[in-house]
Amino acid sequence: MRKPLSLLVASTALSAAIGLPVWSASPSLMEPAPSGPGLIVPGLRASGGTPAQAMPRSETVAGLLVLASGDDDEGDDDEEDEDDDDDDDDCHDDDDDCGGRRANPAPAGTVAPPANGLFGTGAPPQVKVN
């Protein structure tokens, strides 16, 4: 009986030794907001013309992470391709079939040239690159 009791005491002491510092270091969502004004978002104004008090400090710094955009794709784009400064989210330079973009034109030889009045009805275009 003494042996299980001593094991229980030892494990409780160990848990407390490890757990208490972690517990005290982690921010609590139940912690009340500081009495200060919190963060003011520039440009946001309440209807009365006073700057809107956007978010209490506890929500922005210590507690909840508030994302301005739910899209975390942008950073990846930049890391993969520093040259890609397009605003699109899912289209990469090598994609040919991005939605929303104009289709690529039909290559020469696959369709007739456009009827813009510049071309005759004779031989199709011939191209050579030296």
Partner 1 sequence: MKSLLASLALTTALTVPGLALARPVTLTTTLNAYGGDGAYLALYVTDATGAYVGSLWMAGGKSKYYEHLSDWYRATGGDPAQINGITGASVGAGRTLEITLDLADALFDAGYTLHVDAAVEEMRDSPNEVAVPLTSAGAGTAVRGRRYVASFSYAM
3-state secondary structure of 50: coil
Cα–Cα distance measured from residue 5 to residue 1, given in angstroms and rounded to the nearest whole number = 6
Taking the least distance from each CB to partner 1, the nearer of 9 and 106 is 106
3-state secondary structure of 41: strand
Based on the shown chain and the rule CB under 8 A, indicate whether residue 129 belongs to the binding site for partner 1: yes
Cα–Cα distance measured from residue 52 to residue 45, given in angstroms and rounded to the nearest whole number = 4
Based on the shown chain and the rule CB under 8 A, indicate whether residue 87 belongs to the binding site for partner 1: no
Cα–Cα distance measured from residue 105 to residue 95, given in angstroms and rounded to the nearest whole number = 15
Shortest distance, position 103 Cβ to partner 1, whole Å: 6
Based on the shown chain and the rule CB under 8 A, indicate whether residue 112 belongs to the binding site for partner 1: yes
The single residue among 7, 76, 78, 119 that binds partner 1, judged by CB under 8 A, is: 119
Cα–Cα distance measured from residue 79 to residue 71, given in angstroms and rounded to the nearest whole number = 15
Based on the shown chain and the rule CB under 8 A, indicate whether residue 118 belongs to the binding site for partner 1: yes
List contacts with partner 1 (CB under 8 A).
83, 91, 96, 98, 101-114, 116-130
